[in-house]
A and B are shown apart, each in its own frame.
Chain A
Amino acid sequence: MRYLPLTAADRTEMLGVIGAGSVNELFCDVPDGLLLDGPIEGLPLHASEMAVERHMRGLAVRNLAAGDAPFFLGAGAYRHHIPATVDHLIQRGEFLTAYTPYQPEIAQGTLQVLFEFQTQVARLLGTEIANASMYDGSTACWEAIAMATRITRRGRALLSSGLHPHYVAVANTMARFTGDKIAASTPELSASPGEDELFAQIDEQTACVVVQYPDILGRIPDLARIAEAAQAKGALLIAVVTEPVALGLIEAPGNLGADIVVGEGQSLGVGLQFGGPYLGLFGCREKFVRQMPGRLCGQTVDAAGKRGFVLTLSTREQHIRREKATSNICTNSGLCALAFSIHMTLLGGEGLARLARINHAKAQATAARLAKVPGVTCLNEAFFNEVTIMLPRPGGEVIEELAERGVLGGVPLERLYPGVDGLRNAVLVTASELTEEADIEALADELTQVLA
């Protein structure tokens, strides 16, 4: 087997050193009858690199890759151009095959990257500090809610109707077991993100108000007003950003008063990958640092006085605090954080702003063209790169028919909100710098025919 370096002679010699007659003697603690005497039956045996590659390619080609079709999906996962440099650098073995940096003297590469990542994330989100990443946006969102309940010692979280329904589902799942109360609702198909409905529900038991920015329908809520209303009642504002490229163009949530800002970082440097691995962004006010979940990288000096970096404040974490830890998270999303950070470094602030302007321009062009398709109306007034369109019939079947015609036309809201009648005819359409004029025309033409 090509991955196993021991030879038969090695094995014999090593058993001799150990003083065992056979390798099964080393498994002597396994009770009789439980040790399998041969390979598990019914499973294939080892295969060559060629054979495995052929098999996997056979599976891969049964999928329609986004790059092979006019493509307009978003809703929490975004297709952007990833510079070739990113994927090359993350495959350097010293990054790819390192563990969590427990021995900082020989992990300064990973640690410095994490320190740079934390700085980039904090500046992007407009927060004072940020951690070294979470699993993804949805789990970061729940962790932020849990953190807010610890800080405020209140047990009720108010989720805006514009929060991604998967994020709501994760929060509801967790709250069911922690005993926290979650107030959530499904969005209305209106141009306003519904801040006023939210204000009415903030009370003295509210630990946090959770608002997605831009929201699940592509609308942009007025975070500054919500921050003011939440903080007036002693609640924290948690802003959730699923499309960080937007922050090249619209104001950072931290600058608008959000106390904790979490996000899905996949848009920068990380491919769609059918949903994972992604990376959670997590920033907040510095005074909350000891309540933060996840790894933190901090600056220090070595014995010779040179600047260096270490994982720090681990007294918050599971391996020290065990059942009193702020979270059970251990492994995070290091390599995705590296990809994010490299892409961010390549762009710089001005580059990110330009990328955001291009995204917005493409979305405007898409929305304007689709509005001319008979039967289609656009919901949004303000949006970044994502708009909700309303169709004369259910979005799911329209999107399926478009797929049959080779167009990946968007995310039908009934996929995200099964059984919600009011949203059945709506579809979320996303554009990016990868969207070409011909893609927009193809979507408009096919949609016209499907709806005719």
Chain B
Amino acid sequence: MSALNPSGWQPSMGDAGTSGEGVFTSSGDRGLMFEEPLSFEIGAIDKCGVDMDEPEGQPVAALGPFLRKSAPDLPGLTEPETVRHYSRLSRQNYGIDLGPFPLGSCTMKHNPRLNEKVARMPGFADVHPLQPPSTVRGAFEAMDELAEWLISLTGMAAVAMSPKAGAHGELCGLLCIRAAHDHAGEARDVILVPESAHGTNPATAAFAGYRVESIPATASGRVDLAALKEKLGPHVAGVMITNPNTCGLFEPDMKAISDAVHAAGGYVYCDGANFNAIVGKVRPGDLGIDAMHINLHKTFSTPHGGGGPGSGPVVLSEALRPFAPLPFTVRTGDGEAHLVEESNAEAFCHTLAFGRMTAFHGQMGMFTRALTYILSHGADGLQQVAEDAVLNANYVLRSCDDLLIAPFGSAGPCMHEALFSDSNLPEGFGTLDVAKGLIDEGFHPMTVYFPLVVKGAMLVEPTETESKAGLDRFITSLRHVAKRALDGDETLHAAPVLAPRRRLDETLAARKPVLVWQRDPG
């Protein structure tokens, strides 16, 4: 019995008899599990959920040859139908509001609703990016306040605020590095990337015009410092390191790596996807890092929204600061925050900017949410975030490592992610079965088959916003599903059987892509 559940109530255990299989329904819906057609199948071209009066006169005559021949072929719905369509669709989704979402490397933590309220204040939500500066002082102020927090939390010299997501931030960091080498008259064309890196790392390096060379990992899941040193040379522009890394481990040699790269004339890019493990505990600036993106949608809780929007400000070292892209904010001696853009870059002595990454100033709607989150926690709360995130991950690790193989478990504690492998599961069973089995248990699965350096990887990131009782429920289910696999329970291959859909045929989707709806020719 816990304090929250003094009655000791337990959910009834699921069994085949209660799932309703075999019951026919004429609607296709099954109780609260709804089927929903496409909007195109229920909408009509003459339906509209917005009342508007037709303008007077013949206003379109001036457009003559440019006029559209017919209205776009887009069926509409009235308001009640629209609300119902999307509400019913939402019921087919799992979200962090419903339960743990332990996707490793994604940091799916609770999204505080105050952040949503603040972002919707008219002074933030209803402001045009090109309004006269005198009318948006508070917006510059908010951007700058967040920038100062990010600089302080990371121990870096500056921050480029405009990147739109993590991968965009990676690009920003690499372009700073290229600009710095260009400025020094050095032609370096290689970026070193550990083989355990996120796919965005090599993709970004290639996008920025670099060749990618891989650095191997040691048996303990860390960057092989000796192998890295061997690869350094006058052609190496820099390295991209994730720290804590994608195996959920801190890189203890990080400072030595940075020193070696700097000695060889390169720069150190750090993928900040896993910053949640160390926020308020370790400053990346103290590790010799030159650039690191911060996923505001991970560490600082802006909602993922089913795949974005993200936001990826990039903190920079003193060496890379001059090359930061426009625009960004600075605070002048009088305490006023200003936006530095093309028109005033010279006045603010920022003439080496590598350019502009996006229209306008970045994800303001995410800045206000992240700042609200940061102010709520404060320096003490953020430190507690990292500690609880790491504690929760280690609790999962040690609660399951007797059943599932923890490839680096014997080497010591993990950071904010517990990594397991399917290598002890019997022939024919794998990570996919465990993941799909967890869906039937009512959980979102962990990240699967990543990092690639571990066979059948299962990367569990519980985050700090899970209670112990919630973790215990998850652990019980993970153990139950792992046990089913270990016992060779063939019914697991059919999982999930209790979700809105069974396993989907991804091969069919890719072989004959159907990407837009078309009216059935029949």
> When chains A and B are docked, how far (Å) is the Cα of A349 from the Cα of B251?
55
Chain B residues whose C-beta falls within 8 Å of the C-beta of A297 in the assembled complex = 515
Binds B, one of A148-156, A194-202, A247-255: A247-255
- Report if A103-B136 is in contact (Cβ < 8 Å); known contacts: A112-B92, A323-B212: no
Given contacts A251-B69, A318-B203, contact A6 B388 (CB under 8 A): yes
At the interface, yes or no: A185 with Cβ under 8 Å from chain B?
Answer: no
| Residue in chain B with minimal CB distance to A39 | B379
B64 close to chain A: CB less than 8 A: yes
Nearest CB of A to B324, in Å? 12
Contact residues in A for B334 (Cβ distance below 8 Å): none
Measured CA separation A318–B201 after assembly (Å): 8
Q: Contacts A276-B164, A347-B50 known; A56 to B371 CB distance under 8 Å?
A: yes
Which of B340-380 touch A at CB < 8 Å? 342-343, 354-366, 368, 371-372, 375-380
- Note all chain B residues with C-beta closer than 8 A to A59: 123-124, 138-139, 141-142, 145
Cβ of B378 and Cβ of A347 under 8 Å apart?
Answer: no
Give the distance in Å from the alpha carbon of A18 to the alpha carbon of B161 in the complex: 39
**B436 x A63 contact (CB < 8 A):** no
Task: Give the chain B neighbours of A36 by CB distance below 8 A.
Answer: 280-283, 383
Identify which of B149, B152, B165, B383 gathers the most chain A CB atoms within 10 Å of its CB. B165
Bits for A264-302, please: 1 = Cβ < 8 Å to B, else 0.
100000011111110100000000010000011111111
From B74-82, B259-267, B483-491, the one touching the partner chain is B74-82
A18 engages B413 (CB within 8 Å): yes
Report the Cα distance A75→B505, complex, angstroms: 44
Q: Which residue of B lies closest to A326 (CB)?
A: B203
1/0 per residue A312-341: CB within 8 Å of B?
111101111111110111111111101000
Number of A-B residue pairs with CB-CB distance less than 8 Å in the complex they form:
721
Instruction: Choose the segment among A44-52, A230-238, A443-451 that binds chain B (4+ C-beta atoms closer than 8 Å).
Output: A44-52
Q: How far is the CB of A218 from chain B (nearest CB, A)?
A: 12
B22 within 8 A of A: no
Beta-carbon contact of A31 and B501 below 8 Å = no
B306 and A107 form a contact (CB under 8 A): yes
Are B304 and A97 in contact, with the CB atoms below 8 A? yes
Residue A371 interfacial (CB < 8 Å): no
Looking at the assembled complex, report how far the CB atom of A358 sits from the nearest CB atom of chain B, in whole angstroms. Answer: 5
The residues in A between 116 and 135 inclusive whose CB is less than 8 angstroms from any CB of B are 116, 118-120, 122-124, 128-130, 132-133, 135
Q: Judging by beta carbons under 8 Å apart, are B383 and A15 in contact? A: no
Chain A residues closer than 8 Å to B380, beta-carbon distance: 39, 45-46
Chain A residues closer than 8 Å to B128, beta-carbon distance: 66, 71, 73, 77, 79, 272, 274, 408
Interface string of B377-397 (1 = CB under 8 A from A): 111111111011011101101
Distance (whole angstroms) from the CB of A311 to the closest CB of chain B: 8
Interface membership of B226, Cβ < 8 A: no
- Complex CA gap A83/B306 in Å reads 21
* Cross-chain contact B60 with A30 (CB below 8 angstroms): no
Interchain CB contact under 8 A, A323 and B391: no
> Pick the contact of A273 from B44, B67, B365 — CB < 8 Å?
B365
**Which of these, A23, A85, A274, contacts B127 with CB under 8 Å?**
A274
Least distance between B136 CB and chain A CB atoms (Å): 5
Which of A44, A250, A312 meets B509, CB within 8 Å? A312
Complex contact A272–B381 (CB within 8 A): no
Q: Which chain B residue has the least Cβ–Cβ distance from A121?
A: B516
Binds A, one of B12-20, B102-110, B314-322, B423-431: B102-110
- Taking CB as reference atom, which chain A residue is nearest B116? A91
Which residue of A122, A303, A314 is within 8 Å of B503 (Cβ)?
A303
Residue of A nearest to B312 (CB): A331
In the complex, what residue of chain B is closest to A354 when comparing beta carbons? Answer: B52
Closest A residue, CB atoms, query B302: A277
Does B66 sit at the interface, judged by CB under 8 A?
Answer: yes
| B333 interface residue (CB < 8 Å to A) | no
> For chain B residues 484-514, which have a beta carbon within 8 Å of chain A?
494, 496, 499-506, 508-510, 513-514
B376 interface neighbour in A47, A83, A304, Cβ under 8 Å:
A47
The complex places the Cα of A99 from the Cα of B303 at a distance, in Å, of 9
A26-B390, A300-B506, A332-B307 given as contacts; is B141 within 8 A of A348 (CB)?
no
- A76 CB → nearest B CB, Å: 6
Choose among B134, B311, B499 the residue with the greatest number of A CB atoms under 10 Å from its CB. Answer: B499
Q: Using Cβ atoms and an 8 Å threshold, which residues of chain A touch B415?
A: 26, 29
B165 and A330 within 8 A (CB): yes
* A212 at interface, CB cutoff 8 A: no
Distance in Å: Cβ of B428 to nearest Cβ of chain A:
17
Q: Is B309 on the interface with A (CB-CB < 8 A)?
A: yes
Q: Pick from B46, B108, B138, B205 the residue with the most CB of A within 10 Å.
A: B138
Nearest A residue to B74, CB-CB: A349
Give A81 to B431 CA distance when docked, in angstroms: 47
- Indicate whether B476 reaches chain A with its CB closer than 8 angstroms: no
Q: Given the complex of chains A and B, what is the CA–CA distance between A75 and B131 in angstroms?
A: 11
B308 near A332: Cβ-Cβ < 8 Å: yes
Per-residue CB contact flags for chain B residues 313-341 toward chain A (1 = under 8 Å, else 0) read 00000000000010000000000000000
**Residue of B whose beta carbon sits closest to that of A13:** B468
Is B199's CB under 8 angstroms from A18's CB? Answer: no
4 A-B pairs with least C-beta separation: A348-B76, A335-B305, A173-B355, A60-B123
A-B contact pairs, 22 of them (CB 8 A): A4-B465, A6-B391, A17-B395, A31-B255, A57-B123, A67-B122, A95-B86, A105-B439, A137-B359, A252-B72, A272-B126, A274-B139, A301-B508, A303-B494, A306-B502, A312-B513, A318-B204, A323-B212, A328-B200, A330-B166, A350-B45, A415-B343
Given contact pairs A96-B116, A166-B356, A289-B515, a sample of 14 additional A-B residue pairs in the complex whose CB atoms are under 8 Å apart: A6-B468, A38-B383, A39-B382, A60-B123, A114-B306, A172-B355, A274-B128, A331-B297, A332-B165, A349-B76, A350-B45, A351-B50, A352-B74, A360-B60
